[in-house]
């Protein structure tokens, strides 16, 4: 985990002090970058922190750029939780400029936590959250960051993290049960998002339609995908909700394939149970698609 101390905005802190502290003002402010991190963090933080997600619902993380409001929001948080694995390149620039990592002594310190620390990374795939086994590690990193920012409530965060990890382990067992009995193990997805899921649950991503996320594939790449589909006798394409389906529809028609939507959880809603609900919904789709 990358932990870094940095200075809070002095005026803001002083302003709060002058107003006098209400209960809510004592809460630490935490910013997460993407929806799965919001779910993880909210479950650990409970009522003791104000957790806010940086990317609005519907904004994908691969091609995001920070607004001036985002920069202010980040500067006012005691803790910034990143996914890591190069997903937040638009954040690295800010961090490198020193706006976030300001090591000089001052009022308060900001902690920047890389949630991917300790995860066995598959090169160039940042979608670590799509395996609950990685999620457990991410939750531990988030717990440690909250404890560092707010040591007085270490016991509370530890207890919450333990309870949530139990739920994630239940989710993991549920996925193992279903994936273990699937008739088909190979799949084609829209963009390369499910490598961790495939690794942990004995599946294989035979091809991806988009060579690069959020980018139209070249005709040459589509030819490779079609060959992979034929060679592996694949019957199903996993697309994603809210994504233009033209390439997928053409492929499906040409090769007589069924199209299902799997959610990569890159965009979504912000509530504690969201991650588990979405993973279970994906599992239902997977079961339906790959049992035939």
Nearer of residues 85 and 206 to Zn ion, judged by Cβ: 85
Considering the complex, what minimum distance in angstroms separates the CB of residue 80 from Zn ion? Answer: 21
Subset of 140-179 contacting Zn ion (CB under 5 A): none
Nearer of residues 167 and 221 to Zn ion, judged by Cβ: 221
205 DSSP β-pair partners: 187
Nearer of residues 146 and 193 to Zn ion, judged by Cβ: 193
Count CB-CB contacts under 10 A for residue 223.
11
Nearer of residues 127 and 143 to Zn ion, judged by Cβ: 127
Q: Which of 271, 22, 30, 21 is nearest to 146 (CA)?
A: 30
Considering the complex, what minimum distance in angstroms separates the CB of residue 139 from Zn ion? Answer: 21
For residues 121, 71, 214, 118, the Cα torsion angle rounded to the nearest 10 degrees is 10
Segment interacting with Zn ion (CB under 5 A) among 94-102, 197-205, 210-218, 245-253: 210-218
Round the CA-based radius of gyration of the chain to a whole number and report it. Answer: 21
Nearer of residues 213 and 272 to Zn ion, judged by Cβ: 213
Considering the complex, what minimum distance in angstroms separates the CB of residue 264 from Zn ion? Answer: 5
CA angle 267, 175, 168 (to 5 degrees): 65
* DSSP one-letter string for 6-45: -BPPHHHHHHHHHH---TGGGSEEEEESSHHHHHHHHHHH
Q: Does 36 bind Zn ion (CB under 5 A)?
A: no
Nearer of residues 100 and 130 to Zn ion, judged by Cβ: 130
Number of residues this chain uses to bind Zn ion (CB under 5 A): 2
Subset of 51-90 contacting Zn ion (CB under 5 A): none
For residues 279, 285, 287, 289, the Cα torsion angle rounded to the nearest 10 degrees is -150
Considering the complex, what minimum distance in angstroms separates the CB of residue 192 from Zn ion? Answer: 8
Distances in whole angstroms, Cα of residue 78 to Cα of each of 6, 89, 128, 155: 9, 21, 24, 19
Coil, helix or strand for 267?
A: coil
Considering the complex, what minimum distance in angstroms separates the CB of residue 161 from Zn ion? Answer: 26
Nearer of residues 8 and 131 to Zn ion, judged by Cβ: 131
Which stretches of the chain are DSSP H helices? 10-19, 35-45, 68-75, 89-97, 132-149, 154-180, 195-201, 219-231, 246-255, 274-290
Segment interacting with Zn ion (CB under 5 A) among 75-83, 105-113, 179-187, 205-213: 205-213
Question: Where does residue 101 fall: left (phi above 0), alpha (psi -120 to 50 degrees), or beta otherwise?
Answer: beta
Pattern 174-203, Zn ion, x by CB under 5 A? -------------------x----------
Nearer of residues 56 and 98 to Zn ion, judged by Cβ: 56
Considering the complex, what minimum distance in angstroms separates the CB of residue 234 from Zn ion? Answer: 21
State the Cα–Cα distance between residues 172 and 155, nearest whole angstrom: 26
- The only residue of 36, 213, 268, 272 in contact with Zn ion, by rule CB under 5 A: 213
- Which chain residues interact with Zn ion by CB under 5 A? 193, 213
């Amino acid at each position: 985990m990358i932990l870094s101390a940095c200075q809070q905005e002095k005026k803001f802190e002083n302003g709060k002090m002058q107003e006098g502290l209400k209960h809510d003002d004592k809460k630490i402010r935490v910013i997460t970058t993407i929806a799965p991190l919001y779910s993880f963090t909210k479950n650990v933080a409970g009522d003791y922190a104000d957790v806010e997600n940086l990317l609005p619902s519907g904004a994908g993380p691969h091609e995001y750029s920070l607004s001036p409001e985002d920069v202010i929001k980040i500067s006012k948080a005691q803790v910034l939780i990143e996914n890591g694995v190069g997903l937040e390149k638009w954040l690295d620039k800010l961090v490198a400029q020193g706006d976030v990592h300001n090591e000089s002594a001052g009022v308060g310190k900001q902690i920047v936590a890389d949630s991917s620390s300790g995860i066995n990374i598959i090169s160039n795939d940042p979608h670590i959250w799509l395996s609950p086994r990685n999620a457990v590690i991410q939750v531990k990193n988030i717990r440690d960051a909250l404890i560092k920012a707010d040591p007085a409530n270490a016991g509370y965060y530890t207890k919450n993290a333990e309870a949530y990890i139990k739920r994630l382990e239940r989710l993991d067992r549920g996925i193992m049960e279903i994936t273990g009995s699937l008739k088909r193990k190979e799949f084609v997805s829209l963009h390369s998002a499910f490598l961790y899921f495939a690794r942990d649950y004995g599946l294989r991503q035979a091809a991806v339609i988009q060579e690069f996320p959020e980018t139209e594939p070249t005709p040459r790449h589509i030819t490779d995908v079609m060959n992979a589909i034929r060679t592996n006798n694949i019957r199903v394409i996993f697309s994603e909700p809210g994504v233009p389906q033209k390439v997928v529809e053409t492929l499906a028609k040409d090769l007589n394939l069924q199209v299902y939507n799997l959610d990569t959880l890159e965009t979504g809603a912000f509530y504690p149970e969201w991650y588990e609900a979405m993973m279970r919904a994906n599992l239902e789709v997977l079961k339906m698609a790959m049992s035939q």
